[in-house]
Amino acid sequence: MTDVPQVENIEQFSEQPEEYQAACRKIVISHAINELYGSRVYDEPAIALAPTPYAKWLTCRVVMEEYGHHYRFFELGREMGIPETAMLPEMTEKSPLSIMNYNMTRWDEFCVIKLIGDLAEIIQVEDLVQCSFHPLRNLARMTMPEERFHAQFGEDFCRDICETEEGRVQIQKNLDAIFPAMPTFFGRGNSKNNVVYRKWGIKLRTNEDMREDYINRARDLVEGKFGLKLPEPVPMEMAA
Ligand SMILES: [Fe+2]
Ligand SMILES: [Fe+2]
């Protein structure tokens, strides 16, 4: 691998080749949009679905942090010169990820979304904690403990629900409905963008690698820890 730059601040960023700058912008835009969209369609509505004051309190913390993730990416994006309109889902043509189209109506669905959806977020953020663009790397390092809390939140509440047989059946049903599309979150194989990210040390791993790691970790969690069945992912060719 050729030497990758270590870009410590925005001034140094503005001196990098256009290919480097464009690659970092793409990542920041995609995170800013998806964090905001996810906060709106899942996290915030979940406050109303949460069954107890304790669950509402922790859900509020999740909501605060997820909006905070959007805002951190949005602020960094502004410093990088990205127009605000490119980072707000309603103002851009770039549609949010297809996994965001799940119509959530129940508290136990939200718990499963946090359990397996935030595991996907953790894997994405892990890939940025060594990023050659240090402002993005620092943002990823700050975000990581919060994403871990969200996944743990999902695990804890799913465990409570699984204490009854009826609850176990419901969580399995939710996994069957929600999990199969999740691995598409990591993008297509042989991605040209990903080659550029790795060339410049912005990301470390291929999409295929991350997807495989995700499926393995989801299986350890769902089958190893819960004794439930991880459904088959949809084939990538069928991904929207
Ligand atoms: Fe997040
Ligand atoms: Fe999260």
Ligand with an atom nearest the CA of residue 33: 1
Residue 240 has pLDDT above 60, yes or no: no
Distance 147 CA to ligand 2 centre (A): 4
Dist. CA 59 → ligand 2 center (Å): 11
- Listed by start position, the domains of the chain span 10-238
C-alpha 150 to ligand 2 mean position (Å): 5
Q: What is the CATH number of domain 10-238?
A: 1.20.1260.10
DSSP annotation of 128: T
Q: What is the pLDDT of residue 175?
A: 98
pLDDT, one tens digit per residue, over 105-141 is 999 999 999 999 999 999 999 999 999 999 999 999 9
If one counts every other C-beta atom within 10 angstroms of the C-beta of residue 54, the result is 9
Q: Say yes or no to pLDDT of 98 above 80.
A: no
Three-state DSSP class for residue 50: coil
Q: 146 CA distance to ligand 2 centroid (A)?
A: 7
Residue 239 pLDDT exceeds 70: no
Q: 13 is written with which tokens?
A: 């960023």
In this prediction the pTM is 0.94
- As to burial, measured by CB atoms within 10 angstroms (0-12 exposed, 13-18 middle, 19+ buried), residue 90 is exposed
Q: Where are the alpha helices (DSSP H) in the chain?
A: 10-14, 18-38, 44-49, 53-79, 107-112, 118-126, 134-161, 165-178, 192-199, 207-219
